[in-house]
Amino acid sequence: MNEVATRFSRNLVAVRKKAGLTQEELAFRAALHRTEIGLLERSARVPRIDTLVKLASALDVRSEELLVGIRWHPGDFSPGGFEVQGM
C-alpha cells in the first residue's frame, strides 16, 4: 500500500470527522462524487492538486492540514523519496 495515500487518508478522515461531516456531505461541499471521498479515505487514491484544494476549502482548513506527516526529501545524487510520519 502507498504510504503517502495511507497518511493522507488518515488526515482526511480525522479532519472530516472533526468537522462533523459525512462522506456525502463533504463530497457535496467539495463538488466531488461520494465514491471519490471513499477512495481517498481507503488509501486507494492520492488526490490531484485541484481535489486537495477543494477538500481543504470544503473542510475550512488549510491544505497543509491534510498533508501533515508527508514530506519529500530530494536526493543529491540519487532519486529522492517521501518521508511519511506516523506509519
CATH of the domain at 17: 1.10.260.40
- How far apart CA 48 and CA 71 sit, in angstroms, is 16
Phi-psi domain of 69 (left: phi exceeds 0; alpha: psi -120 through 50; beta: other): left
pTM reported for the whole predicted model: 0.89
- What are 82's strand-pairing partners? 72
Nine cell digits for residue 71: 514530506
Containing structural domain, residue 62: 3-84
Burial class (CB in 10 A: 0-12, 13-18, 19+), 66: buried
Written as tens digits, the pLDDT of the chain (87 aa) is 599 999 999 999 999 999 999 999 999 999 999 999 999 999 999 999 999 999 999 999 999 999 999 999 888 888 888 989 876
Please count the structural domains in the chain. Answer: 1
